[in-house]
Structure 1
């Protein structure tokens, strides 16, 4: 019997790569000797068997199934039919394969599975464990975040994130930020919806643990503030408005503690321009502050609540363009009030334009608060109205610069689309103030806000065509404002034409309600039986109702008594 051609041991990496039969000769096998390549044998091989986390997921489902069976055996025989159906649904959900390992699930199947998960009463331990996510799922979540979430929360530098995200010993604040990012990414995906609640809970739990040790170095870092901002956006979209408002307060306090409102007070521009890494780090801080700045105003404008981030001590440059930020190209921007005073001369980067328009809209709120209760012909009243006219002129100038047709490719950017809608809505904001203060208004003045309302209707069409996952979370606010304006202001157009435009706004709200509870609330308001009674609604005072309708007023105010 001839000797075996193959020696005992492991095949070399070259033969494994080429899928050739290795004779295991040492120090060099025949294949490597003939090809002139190095013969290397990897002695450490990953063990065969189930994927990472699969056994733990199976154990969790088995344990939950046993608890349900034991509970069922301990109940009396006359258990109601409804409870039995609930248990059957739970058992079928547990016995179904883990969704983490199903990559070919269709959108309709994912939606059904997500609904089944939300209705079941499974414990936290039976949810997918973020610590057991496969590398493929983590990479998918990262990509989803920067594709769908980052365009409306543009505060993270992608290269810096990937640099620290792969480290095993990253700080707790970085781990919290990563979980918050993944929760937002899972919520923006059809096939990963079942993971968003688990990721959100664990992110919030870790952040609260950081708060318990506020003296720790990681408790008040930039990443902790960014994580709380993302958690606020999540809660605003999928949970309650008041809960999100309270959560936002934690992010605002960390931002104040880190003094992000004055990061450019002592920085030398020349030094930052010459060092791209330092500039990128400072730009990420600026963007984090400005995102919180806009969020503070949008959350509080509905009820005229006082702000947390004020403008008096503000000394932070407006954010640079997204391209310069991501590619590390240092550029010099301007301060907020310089950009406002320069309105009408040049277009700012999209995020900076959103900040300027948000500031002008909030100024309309403060303008209404300080209205002088004096004779209209007095000097104080004259100064007051001149200031209002100047702000209104700035809004119209920015609108002229930003106006784009609804078919423009630039509107594929969610932030650009929202900025255009916000510019048109700002015109409605200031016009509503004039009506609320009983200013003299003629038919010619009505044409400007009426045109802006029609523009919002046309801009709502790109929202219908695109995925609701990428829509700005406060877009429903602007759609509702335009629909209310069209309902309450007569014009030369026919009633049928006006109703058609309102229906188009409702259609956009129906598209958005899949990933935004605010859209659902505003849609209910528009379709309520009292919607035809709206006439002149103050942009700040909530819904105007008669004495007979006072019992229902709390419903409207609790939903969101905007405008």
Structure 2
């Protein structure tokens, strides 16, 4: 024992040698935690300032200029000097070097990279809108110095989307996206490599699709999604629960979590396929007829690796409205019901059926009732704290939008309905207006990529039925104010979503201009700027094909 430390009285009286451990455990938060907290605080402050009108959209996106102190300048960055090499086996490990000078900011110095911050941001910003990765498994392999090429591509795609979802890391997103895209394309060129068609490659393509929808063109994102769909089909994820021993997985949480991650990857692609094609009635890539896969479990069960078995999609639709599902599973059921209505409309336009066909029309009516039953299950008031969950909020909006979708189809097919029937989609449109407020109060980066589509659907319905609604509504209902609320929401979302920008331009166009825009290909020498008097958006002509 040190001479400077007095021996305790009990040890001295008993004649026992006293051994004192002089080594102290490190105190305070673990390495990198403070930096991550500073990054989150900077993001939150920039969002609050934007909401209060202190910052414009451009200033929010360039948050690094505002937070340029010595402390907040210590922004961590991922490895920047890596381009994956193609190998013939998934098990081959690839080392990558770290070069902090590869990414620079005009105003902010970069410290030696520490990717822990971006990985933590994935849990907060990316996962809520792309809920396919098991965070424990991701953090486990992401910290390894060596990893397979497909894993590195996935990590760069995750970093790109995380940076794109942060106000003060916007300057990094393009470089990270380029690295992810070049790496996954290099894998794709070696079609015989198992890395080119593995789960991580499919996940990387899906994340890049979400990035491209937000910041690039619709066509590019649509083609990128197709790459993910083909890999998923090649991996036969649609029948994972026929190929795997489900009872064996239930007894082993780690194996169950791996299988659930595959399910979620498939379902994310399944929903994306339908959102991409529903407005224009394009053919699907991932069909539901051959499915042998359970619906995804709740986020809590998934992230804590608690084995649970859900119903199949078919069983859930047949018993629709009897129980509430987790938000992700609810989204799957709702978009499937919407697509069934589109299939009915397509058959009617093709002359294969008609509204006068009793059995077919009963089926469509039954689907409409299912949607309304599910809406009653998931409905929450706009002030509910549960709506802080981006997927829960999107599910609520989608349930209301589904009601409008079904009504629009009945109207397009000239089905005779009573005057009071319009009150049902009207209520749903007003609910979406109310849900737009919590959508824009949180960070617009957290909003689901297809939220603008639902806002536009509601606004289009209110705009198209202004005259009809004026005869059945009290004077206290202000349609113009609600339309303005939807426009405001789209204006806020356009800071991080090109879809919102395009839908806002569509909404602001009057009927005559919209008619001209839909026929631009037939107008010689006529541009969108000449028709609307507004600057032309590079994303606009892509979105015109949707409606």
Displacement of 1:132: 3.2
- The answer to whether the Cα contact below 8 Å between 1:406 and 1:459 also exists between their aligned partners in 2 is yes
For residues 378-424 of structure 1, the C-alpha deviation after alignment (integer angstroms, 9 at most, x for no partner) is 6xx11221111011111111011111111011111000000010000
Q: Matches of 1:443 and 1:293 in 2, distance apart?
A: 36
Alignment of 1:363-512 (within 5 A): 363-371=340-348, 373=351, 381-489=357-465, 490-491=468-469, 492-493=472-473, 494=475, 497-512=478-493
Name which of 252, 257, 261 aligns with 1:275.
252
Q: Matches of 2:425 and 2:480 in 1, distance apart?
A: 17
With the length of structure 1 as denominator, give the TM-score of the two structures.
0.74
Q: Matches of 2:355 and 2:367 in 1, distance apart?
A: 20
For residues 527-560 of structure 1, the C-alpha deviation after alignment (integer angstroms, 9 at most, x for no partner) is 12338989xxxxxxx9699x99996799975333
Residue 188 (structure 1) aligned with residue 188 (structure 2): no
Alignment of 1:257-336 (within 5 A): 257-336=234-313
Displacement of 1:234: 0.3
Residue 174 (structure 1) aligned with residue 151 (structure 2): yes
- The answer to whether the Cα contact below 8 Å between 1:428 and 1:449 also exists between their aligned partners in 2 is yes
Residue 517 (structure 1) aligned with residue 498 (structure 2): yes
Residue 161 (structure 1) aligned with residue 138 (structure 2): yes
Compared CA separation, residues 249 and 373, structure 1 to 2 (3 A): closer
- The answer to whether the Cα contact below 8 Å between 2:347 and 2:353 also exists between their aligned partners in 1 is no
Residue matched to 1:25: none
Unaligned runs of 5+ in 2: 1-17, 24-38, 47-54, 66-78, 83-97, 101-110
Displacement of 1:350: 0.9
Residue matched to 1:246: 223
Compared CA separation, residues 110 and 396, structure 1 to 2 (3 A): closer
Residue matched to 1:221: 198
Residue matched to 2:510: 529
Residue matched to 1:12: none
Q: Matches of 2:60 and 2:290 in 1, distance apart?
A: 48
With the length of structure 2 as denominator, give the TM-score of the two structures.
0.76
- The answer to whether the Cα contact below 8 Å between 2:506 and 2:514 also exists between their aligned partners in 1 is no
Q: Matches of 2:513 and 2:202 in 1, distance apart?
A: 43
- The answer to whether the Cα contact below 8 Å between 1:464 and 1:507 also exists between their aligned partners in 2 is no
Q: Matches of 1:497 and 1:549 in 2, distance apart?
A: 40
For residues 157-180 of structure 1, the C-alpha deviation after alignment (integer angstroms, 9 at most, x for no partner) is 011011111111200000000000
Q: In structure 2, the residue corresponding to 1:264 is in which secondary structure?
A: helix
Displacement of 1:36: 6.2
Compared CA separation, residues 385 and 557, structure 1 to 2 (3 A): farther
Q: Matches of 2:402 and 2:137 in 1, distance apart?
A: 36
- The answer to whether the Cα contact below 8 Å between 1:110 and 1:193 also exists between their aligned partners in 2 is no
Q: Identify which of structures 1 and 2 has the higher relative contact order when contacts are C-alpha pairs closer than 8 Å and 6+ apart.
A: 2
- The answer to whether the Cα contact below 8 Å between 2:401 and 2:429 also exists between their aligned partners in 1 is yes
Displacement of 1:217: 2.1
Displacement of 1:153: 0.4
- The answer to whether the Cα contact below 8 Å between 1:343 and 1:394 also exists between their aligned partners in 2 is yes
Q: Matches of 1:552 and 1:503 in 2, distance apart?
A: 27
Q: In structure 2, the residue corresponding to 1:473 is in which secondary structure?
A: coil
For residues 281-301 of structure 1, the C-alpha deviation after alignment (integer angstroms, 9 at most, x for no partner) is 000000000000000111112
Residue matched to 1:148: 125
Higher gyration radius (CA): 1
Displacement of 1:213: 1.2
Q: In structure 2, the residue corresponding to 1:344 is in which secondary structure?
A: coil
- The answer to whether the Cα contact below 8 Å between 2:163 and 2:173 also exists between their aligned partners in 1 is yes
Q: In structure 2, the residue corresponding to 1:193 is in which secondary structure?
A: helix
Q: Matches of 2:394 and 2:519 in 1, distance apart?
A: 28
